[in-house]
Amino acid sequence: MYPIDETHDPALRSWVGSANAPGADFPVQNLPHGVFRRRASSEPWRGGVAIGDQVLDLAAAHAAGVFHGEAAVAAAHGGAGSLNGLMAMGPRAWLALRRALSALLREGSAQAPRLRACLVPQADAEHAVPARIGDYTDMYTSVHHAINVGRLFRPDNPLTPNFRWMPIGYHGRVSSIGVSGQRFRRPSGQRMPPGAAEPVFGPCERLDYELEIGIWIGPGNPAGEPVPLERAEAHVFGLCLLDDWSARDIQAWEDQPLGPFLAKNFATTISPWIVTMAALAPYRVPWTRPQDDPAPLAYLESEANRAAGGIDLAIEAWIETARMRAEGTGPARLSRSSFRHAYWTVGQMLAHHTVGGCNLQPGDLIGSGTQSGPLPGEQAALIELSEGGRRPVALGNGETRAFLEDGDAVILRGWCEREGFARIGFGECRGEVLPASGD
């Protein structure tokens, strides 16, 4: 886990004035990475760093000669059209680049005049998925989500016995992962209507979102060599927001015996900026679980993980219906939760993923699973909020939703704040539902 150092000093201010605005997602204490180009241009994709309402073009900054030593090598990789090279370099190089960027972008930097020409307004930028994703795994690590959904189908025994013993996951589809702004068609598939003897085919009628955290892998591990828990976070580059769209009626029919297939493979949306694990150092919290729950097996247990394995990351889901857009009223909040409620930590997820010998690679992506909390209003999917569709959610403008309708957009937001430190944010993760093909 990373130290708290001068880059986290809440007194730091940037010569990019918008980075100093109260509540800004991207102050100089954050410095997340992404891949961008000017909107509607034929420019090459390249790596950038968010600072205020601007993007620092890392390729241009590197060409300007403002980086030196290990930071210069890292900046060259960070300015490329995908971040796999930077991800592969590991924590020492990441820290060198972060510290160099902090010095270059803070007030009083002698390089400010040279770097102003390397800024692109975020409003003028479009984003790509920030790395070539070799493999994607979706986990199931919120006990509150698991219990809430389990009660809908197994009221007397909502939690499967293995949940408290290991992080559960399944391998997902890479080709349909898109960056914020993704618009996708409502999926079609087989559904078994209640009381029917045969399935029917057609568009999904119970489309849902899932508010998750995306975990980007840095250096990989050789096949057959597990990553121990105490070294797991050295293999994690950073986090993003992730919406694991789900076709609940298709899922209910196909889920047994092998788990989700068509219900999950049509779209996954991620936020464009990756907040590094170093930036998250001030917001680490102890990892706890109920005293009556079993202690983890040895490979999932460590003092460091218990002391600071959690991350106090506030997360929200909002909905913008077609009517809201037409009337200009703005979106309505559906729920708010925190990643600190996760039953398994980032390190435990990675350690378990590799314990059988699976070889992760730079740029692989892990979804945390739906991150619901224990209190009302902290349910991170409509299937929970609407109790399986029985109690549609009131949106405040006269509309209700049991599940998503065509034209609905879901917007995920996240941020970290702690007394004595700057607030840092993740930006937005937005996806919009289009009618099914042929509709």
Closest CA to 31 of 85, 75, 92, 1: 75
* Amino acid identity, position 396: G
Burial profile 287-313: b = 16 or more Cβ within 10 angstroms, e = fewer: beeeeeeeebeeebebeebeebbbbbb
Strand pairing category for 424-434 and 182-185: parallel
Catalytic-labelled residue, pool 8, 77, 127, 145 = 145
Assess contact for 19 and 52: CB atoms under 8 A.
Answer: yes
Total residue length of the chain: 439
Give the Å distances, CA to CA, from 388 to 148, 151, 166, 248, 404: 10, 10, 26, 9, 13
Q: What pairing do the DSSP bridges indicate for beta strands 400-401 and 393-394?
A: antiparallel
Contacts of 218 (CB under 8 A, 6+ apart): 87, 88, 89, 90, 91, 94, 234, 235, 236, 237, 362
Kindly state the tokens that stand for 247: 């076709």
Check residue 396 and give left, alpha or beta (phi > 0: left; psi -120 to 50: alpha).
left
| 145 part of the active site | yes
Return the number of other C-beta atoms located less than 10 Å from residue 375's C-beta.
11
Q: List b or e across 150-188, with b for residues whose CB sees 16 or more CB atoms inside 10 angstroms.
A: bbbeeeeeeeeeebbebbbbeebbbebbbbbebebbbbb
CB of 321 closer than 8 Å to CB of 394: no
Q: Are 202 and 192 spatial neighbours (Cβ–Cβ below 8 Å)?
A: no
Residues acting as catalytic residues: 145
